[in-house]
Amino acid sequence: MPATPASSADPAPRQGAAPGRRLRVLAAMSGGVDSAVAAARAVEAGHEVTGVHLALSANPKSFRTGARGCCTLEDSRDARRAADKLGIPFYVWDLAERFREDVVEDFVAEYEAGRTPNPCLRCNEKIKFAALLDKALALGFDAVCTGHYATVVERADGSRELHRASDAAKDQSYVLGVLDDRQLAHAMFPLGDTPATKDEVRAEAEERGLAVARKPDSHDICFIADGDTQGFLAGRLGRAEGDIVDESGEKLGTHEGAYGFTIGQRKGLRLGRPAPDGKPRYVLDISPVDNTVTVGPAEALDVVALTAVRPRWCGAAPQGPGAYTAQLRAHGGETPVTAECAGEELRVRFAEPVRGVAPGQAIVLYDGTRVVGSATIAGTERTASPPVSA
């Protein structure tokens, strides 16, 4: 069962404060140090803050335990203790069913289709800034506050832009690239304009008397208890033996489920013989239709262009082709691109070939530090092979 809320009733609705005045803020508190300090800063700024922990599993013990998760009973208790220290009301909201449908089942379905999803983006889009935000607004809150490292900039006309955090090493704007105008209008990221290191944020938490000051960060996927993604998928999808082949179609080995591979993967292929040139092989393609995984040399991964679908814009959609930089993974660097939106499709061409690009991943476009928007990669064009799509 989800953790018991501090009170069985939700906070009473109230009209939000006018812009520039004291706001009613709902602080999403994961039980970690970042969200606790973010809530503390919102309190210190003079806002009326209420803490909420999201119960995202009908059986929290099935999620990570100790320091590695953000969805356990232990995390709920840590969040409650932080809220008590800050002197703010605290609730636990059960969003387990919504999380299962929108994040976990989506994750499994994407892998089953041969794609590589990012569940953190989906959680931000569907849970923290959709289900949670919708409920917050219905209850009269003005903003949802989280511990993400990103910055919201308000323009003279009142519109808002999402920018990278002031500290590039901690920037999390990539996983927030799914937020639209309406969501940005009610988003608050108190840590985003902090040039402090993570150690300094921990020191601030300690100075504030927050017990989570030395709690290690969470890592990996919160709903996979042991960190074994392939085992998790096998339990959901069943084992399905198939072939591992080279670019010519010659069989090199077998696997127990194509869903257990990602494009660009090198380790875990368990091939019985080396490549003729002795160089490592990488996953080049995943075909769920015939359950086949194709491997080949690293240079065959070079991608020169891609097509992405379901674009979401942090502001107005760009008009015509434009020059941007693109980020392809949460901890990846930027690369120069030209991009053009054609209806519900985004076409991107790289200034130089890039590797490790897989259907299902998100591409996030930037104009300087400003997040322009994001889309889900549907297909790629490579230098050494026909286009790849899922």
Measured CA angle at 142 (ends 138, 147), to 5 deg = 110
Active-site residue list: 123, 222
> Which SS3 state, helix, strand or coil, does residue 206 take?
helix
Q: Which two tokens stand for residue 74?
A: 């232990």
Exposure pattern of 134-145 as b/e (b: 16+ CB <10 Å)? ebbbeeebbbbb
Q: Which two tokens stand for residue 86?
A: 């800050």
Q: Calculate the CA 243 to chain-centre distance.
A: 31
* Euclidean distance between CA atoms 105 and 63, whole angstroms: 15
What single letter denotes the amino acid at residue 247?
E
DSSP 246-297: -TT--EEEEES-GGG--TT--TT---SS--TT----EEEEEETTTTEEEEE-
- Tokens 């042991």: give the residue: 226
- CA-nearest of 200, 106, 108, 109 to 149 is 200
Question: Where are any strands of DSSP class E within 120-223?
Answer: 143-145, 150-154, 160-164, 187-188
* Euclidean distance between CA atoms 284 and 298, whole angstroms: 9
